[in-house]
Amino acid sequence: MPNLKSAKKRVRLSRDANARNRATRSRLRTAVKRVENAKDAKTAEVEYRKVQELLDRAATARLLHPNTVARMKSNLARSVGAMS
């Protein structure tokens, strides 16, 4: 247990950031699944555009590594392209 005031603050900030990051990653995973499970190409394309924006924001915030985001976008684009 931290004793210093600054250490207590760091624990609090870390806990808050962890919760925020966990929620954001969960939203990302759900959005990716929505693209993968889309029934038709048009729905997949619309959902893919939304996911692209979310992934780019995650990369900018360093929530995910930029190369990971690039790979995910590439794989999703390939699967959406295969649907049409």
In degrees rounded to 5, what are phi and psi of residue 81? -65, -35
83 CB-contact burial (10 Å; exposed 0-12 / middle 13-18 / buried 19+): middle
* Ordered mean pLDDT values, 10 residues apiece, the chain (84 residues): 96 98 97 95 96 97 97 97 88
**In which residue are the tokens 């360093």 written?**
62
User: Residue 66 and residue 60: Cα distance in Å, rounded?
Assistant: 8
The pLDDT score that the predictor gives to residue 84 is 77
The pLDDT score that the predictor gives to residue 5 is 97
The pLDDT score that the predictor gives to residue 34 is 96
Residues belonging to the chain: 84
The pLDDT score that the predictor gives to residue 17 is 97
40 CB-contact burial (10 Å; exposed 0-12 / middle 13-18 / buried 19+): exposed
Question: For the whole model, what pTM was predicted?
Answer: 0.84
CATH homologous superfamily of 5-83 equals: Ribosomal protein S20 (1.20.58.110)
User: Residue 81 and residue 78: Cα distance in Å, rounded?
Assistant: 5
The pLDDT score that the predictor gives to residue 61 is 95
- Where are the domains positioned within the chain? 5-83
